[in-house]
Amino acid sequence: MKFADAEIKLSKIRGRCHRSLYYEKTYNTDGTIVTKCSIYVSEQAGIYSGHDWKEAFAELRKAMNPKPIEEIPVEEYPRPEWQPY
């Protein structure tokens, strides 16, 4: 995915809210090149990153749709035995 494609995709997902896209390319002395794509959305209060745009958008989706927390009924909590001080 190109930077322009990421801009379009983010505008479709988050509309008119404040948002930023970052693309970083690091050239290491050993000849390797590392890329980092990051997305910031004000409503999500975080920066979501990956080695490519696909990974960054996957992180954003996780933040937008977190897994529900499994609730345990109160009766199932272990009750501590009372001990005097």
The answer to the question of residue 31 being in a domain is: yes
The answer to the question of residue 58 being in a domain is: yes
The answer to the question of residue 85 being in a domain is: no
Q: What is the number of domains present in the chain?
A: 1
Q: What pLDDT score was predicted for residue 15?
A: 78
**Structure confidence by residue, pLDDT tens digits, 20-39:** 999 999 999 999 999 999 99
The answer to the question of residue 42 being in a domain is: yes
The answer to the question of residue 73 being in a domain is: no
Whole-number Å distance between alpha carbons of 7 and 73: 44
Q: What pLDDT score was predicted for residue 72?
A: 58
**Structure confidence by residue, pLDDT tens digits, 31-82:** 999 999 999 988 877 899 999 999 999 999 888 887 666 665 656 656 667 6
**pTM of the full predicted structure?**
0.70
- The range of the structural domain enclosing residue 54 comes to 3-64
**Structure confidence by residue, pLDDT tens digits, 3-14:** 999 999 998 887
* Residue 48 half-sphere exposure toward CB, CA atoms < 13 A: 21
The answer to the question of residue 14 being in a domain is: yes
* CATH, residue 14: 3.30.160
